[in-house]
Chains A and B, each alone.
Chain A
Amino acid sequence: MKFATPMMLTAALLTAACASKRPEDRPPPPADVAPPAGQTAPQGNVGEAVVPGSAADFKRSVTSDTVHFALDQYDIDAEARAVLDSQVAWLRRYPQVRITIEGHCDERGTREYNLALGDRRANAAKNYLAGAGIDASRITTISYGKERPIALGSDEASWAQNRRAVTIVVS
């Protein structure tokens, strides 16, 4: 995605404060400042290092933070299982970490139906993780319907990328 326009930056700043709690939206701490003593929740990169159990560590360690779905479907297929299995392994290593799973849809569904479908997808991923032994109380879900596409084309390849559930480390 190439969005180096002032409009994009303004929109991102507007929404970052409220609509998104993703760790990668936070400014990284200054490289020459150590994390405060007693801090338990890893915040991400400290200098060049990746803090174990952090969002950055999650993204580096798992096969992917995203699983994909077929048109108007929400079943977890073999490829998605492999991705989620890698997330299970990481989540077992860091049992204090909580996650949010975002459910998304392509643009070729009506708005309200897609909110429900995104909820189905997020819950399908959640149920798979819970079934693999991850405490369900660590997992929240949110559906964005078709509001936050990652691929911006109106074509089959873009729609396939947008039918997704994304795991976000929140603490």
Chain B
Amino acid sequence: MPPLRLTLIALLAAAPSLAQAPQTPPPAPAQAAPAPGQQPPPLEVSVTGGISAPLPIAIPVLPAAATVQTPAGSTDELGAKLSEVMTADLKNSGLFTPLGGERLRAIGYDEVTAPQFDYWGGTGVQALVQGFVRANGDGTLTVGCYLYDVFAKAELTRQGFVVSPADWRRAAHKCADTIYARLTGEGPYFDSRVAYVSETGPKGRRTKRLAIMDQDGANHRFLTNGQSIVLTPRFAPNQQTIVYMSYVNDQPRVYVYDIGSGRQRLVVENASLTFAPRFSPDGRFILFSMAVGGNTDLYRVSVNGGAAQRLTTSPGIDTGGSYSPDGRQIVFESDRSGSQQLYVMDADGGNQHRISFGGGRYATPVWSPRGDLIAFTRIAGNFRIGVMNAGGGGEKLLTDDWQDEGPTWSPNGRVLMFFRATQGSSGRADIWSVDLTGVNLRRLPTPLDGSDPGWGPLRP
């Protein structure tokens, strides 16, 4: 029988560390196509109007082509871990009730492409993910995964990835993304990272360190040592740098941190406070706020430095800018009307107009990567995370706690992370996430406390 070829998708084509698998060895199955006239309804997860019934899905341990030791453990161990990570991703999305890992019946390597649909149908799952792991001669791993509709007894999609053993979690996230995207119609987001501020210490003197981690909390890494306060990190679109604000030498300024070299660079040479930095979607500019003599306005500067261009001139506080995904507009907050409200303007500062008109104050606007919504913090008693249409209106509040602040979008515009501060003298804060529909509120695991999350783009 001819070998199956794995589907190739364009978004992976340029990544040397995570290339597509050219082919995969499990033998092609004799597909058990359902008889005509008995076609069940297509398997899909409804993502509109909340989550009514999460989809039961089984992800048995991925069998290995052969047991081979790798720097990340044996291929057998990796097969179990891959199943666990995929299971956790799908469970955390709130859209699935996955069964995975070693609680499920072990499948054989030859079974990967020939699922025992009748058996799985008897377990109550509607979807089945079977995959394999194989150590290649050049030290890389190939991870393949196949998604099946159990009732229709049909394959829905397949995908394969070649990774270095150290990047095995990325293969699991990519597989989970493939399944999630196929079944929900939403874009993928599991293979992404978060930059945030790790916090510890007493409330009056919190130690704050720049840190990055995968979106599920794995591969956590501190980037700064805590000697200076750091705030509000954001990934560059190319994910090679992070822009943030630091109190280095008691001079609070915007810096760019290079993840590869560990070096940081001052963005604007100026005697004034600079803060609230954000990259433009094309990565060429940094939008930021600068306070001069008590007046704060929005500016932009080339990532390579040079003269900053002033975008707002109101005597109030204009800050918290965020680009639309096409880079043509900027949403920001201003107290020019007397209290913090949201405004939209053209990227050159023209056509400024207010879009928030509800009660209370509105702050920290962030444009959705899909372009249709703007997330914000609303202050009316409690601090709450909400979303509204990009043109204003359609407001919906997603959380209700004492102090939720600073939303950041998942790469697919489906999930929001934010930080939740604790009332009282502890000064603690944690990072949480919530689905766009206001359900599936979760606290993210971090080694210490956390604040100011900035969700990075989908990794290539």
Q: Are A11 and B202 closer than 8 Å at their CB atoms? A: yes
| A113 touching B340 in the complex, CB below 8 Å, given contacts A12-B205, A119-B294 | yes
- How many CB-defined contacts (below 8 Å) exist between A and B? 130
Q: Are A110 and B227 closer than 8 Å at their CB atoms? A: no
Q: What residue of chain B has the Cβ atom nearest to residue A74's Cβ?
A: B294
Contacts of B204 in A (CB 8 A): 1, 3, 148-150, 152
Q: Is B392 an interface residue (CB 8 A)?
A: no
A2-14 vs B, Cβ < 8 Å mask (1 yes, 0 no): 0101011011101
Q: Are A19 and B228 closer than 8 Å at their CB atoms? A: yes
Q: Are A19 and B227 closer than 8 Å at their CB atoms? A: yes
Q: Is B291 an interface residue (CB 8 A)?
A: yes
How distant is the Cα of A18 from the Cα of B248 in the complex, in angstroms?
7
Contacts of B421 in A (CB 8 A): 107
| Interface members, chain B 373-431 (any A CB < 8 Å) | 377, 379, 383, 402-403, 405-406, 421, 423-425, 427
Q: Are B252 and A152 closer than 8 Å at their CB atoms? A: no
Q: Is B275 an interface residue (CB 8 A)?
A: yes
| Interface members, chain B 229-281 (any A CB < 8 Å) | 229, 231-232, 247-252, 273, 275-276
How distant is the Cα of A119 from the Cα of B327 in the complex, in angstroms?
29
Q: What residue of chain B has the Cβ atom nearest to residue A5's Cβ?
A: B202
Q: Are A18 and B252 closer than 8 Å at their CB atoms? A: no
| Interface members, chain A 59-115 (any B CB < 8 Å) | 72, 74, 107-113, 115
Contacts of B319 in A (CB 8 A): 112-113, 115-116
| A15 touching B205 in the complex, CB below 8 Å, given contacts A113-B340, A113-B363, A154-B423 | yes
Q: Which of A15, A20, A74, A120 contacts B207 (CB 8 A)?
A: A15
Contacts of A1 in B (CB 8 A): 204
Q: Is B452 an interface residue (CB 8 A)?
A: yes
How distant is the Cα of A127 from the Cα of B295 in the complex, in angstroms?
13
Q: Are A143 and B252 closer than 8 Å at their CB atoms? A: yes
Contacts of A15 in B (CB 8 A): 205, 207, 227
Q: Are B405 and A117 closer than 8 Å at their CB atoms? A: no
Q: Are B229 and A19 closer than 8 Å at their CB atoms? A: yes
Contacts of A127 in B (CB 8 A): 294
Q: Is B25 an interface residue (CB 8 A)?
A: no
| A21 touching B250 in the complex, CB below 8 Å, given contacts A11-B205, A107-B421, A152-B425 | yes
Kindly state the interface size class of chain B when it binds its partner: 35 or more
Q: Are A115 and B340 closer than 8 Å at their CB atoms? A: no
Contacts of B329 in A (CB 8 A): none
Q: Is A147 an interface residue (CB 8 A)?
A: yes
Contacts of A142 in B (CB 8 A): 250-252, 273
| A111 touching B452 in the complex, CB below 8 Å, given contacts A8-B205, A152-B427 | yes
Q: Is B226 an interface residue (CB 8 A)?
A: yes
Q: Is B201 an interface residue (CB 8 A)?
A: yes
Q: Are A119 and B228 closer than 8 Å at their CB atoms? A: no
CB of A8 to closest CB in B, whole Å: 5
CB of B247 to closest CB in A, whole Å: 6
Q: Are A153 and B425 closer than 8 Å at their CB atoms? A: yes
Q: Is B333 an interface residue (CB 8 A)?
A: yes
Q: Is A51 an interface residue (CB 8 A)?
A: no
Q: Is A49 an interface residue (CB 8 A)?
A: no
Q: Are A149 and B252 closer than 8 Å at their CB atoms? A: no
Q: Is B436 an interface residue (CB 8 A)?
A: no
Q: Are A123 and B320 closer than 8 Å at their CB atoms? A: no
Q: Is B296 an interface residue (CB 8 A)?
A: yes
How distant is the Cα of A113 from the Cα of B231 in the complex, in angstroms?
13
> Chain B interface (Cβ within 8 Å of chain A)?
200-208, 226-229, 231-232, 247-252, 273, 275-276, 289, 291, 293-296, 317, 319-320, 333, 335, 339-340, 363-364, 377, 379, 383, 402-403, 405-406, 421, 423-425, 427, 452
26 contacts between A and B (CB under 8 A): A1-B204, A11-B201, A14-B227, A15-B205, A19-B250, A21-B250, A110-B377, A111-B232, A112-B275, A112-B363, A113-B317, A113-B320, A113-B335, A113-B363, A115-B252, A116-B289, A116-B319, A119-B294, A142-B252, A143-B252, A143-B273, A144-B229, A147-B229, A147-B231, A149-B204, A150-B204
